[in-house]
Amino acid sequence: MPKVRVKKVIGEFRAFILRGNVVDLAIAVAIGAAFTAVVAALTASFVTPVVTLFAHKKGLQSLYFEVSGVKFQYGLFVNSIITFLITATVIFFFVLKPTQALMLRLGTTPPSMVEKAPCPACLSDIPRAATRCSACTQELGSDWAPPVEDA
């Protein structure tokens, strides 16, 4: 590969890596992994012992059943489900909902929160403020009034 081409590829790679969304995604993955480790430790240290009090076993890891000599450790699966549910609950109530409330307060709603209405021509969902359908390109005109949904 010629030097000029290598430099061009390296420059494109550097531009790709330094894009805002790639860096944000890398940070989110790192924080998510650390958060999951904390939740897993919380589950193993506090939640699992409470559950095992009722199961009368040494831990969820010791819960299993055997079929033809093959051991199925369903306790590990239950532990993972508990960790997932705690993680999802915390992310939903302490990250997603406050972020949505802040964005609504600041007036910067993400595309998923924009109110939508069906296009009169193709019935695909389009933003209520649209003047042209993005699916069928039907011009909606100034007389188009999207139906108001009952709350």
| pTM, full prediction | 0.51
Q: Kindly report the number of other CB atoms within 10 A of residue 126's CB atom.
A: 23
Rounded distance between C-alpha atoms, residue 53 and residue 128, angstroms: 54
For residue range 42-95, list pLDDT tens digits in order. 888 887 788 777 766 676 777 788 999 988 888 888 888 888 888 888 888 988
Question: Which residues 6+ apart lie within 8 Å of 121 measured at CB?
Answer: 133, 136, 138
- Class of the CATH-defined domain 3-109: mainly alpha
Output DSSP code: residue 26: H
Structure tokens at 73: 């450790």
For residue range 89-136, list pLDDT tens digits in order. 888 898 888 888 887 888 776 655 567 778 877 878 888 777 788 788
Looking at the chain, which residues constitute the CATH 1.10.1200.120 domain(s)? 3-109
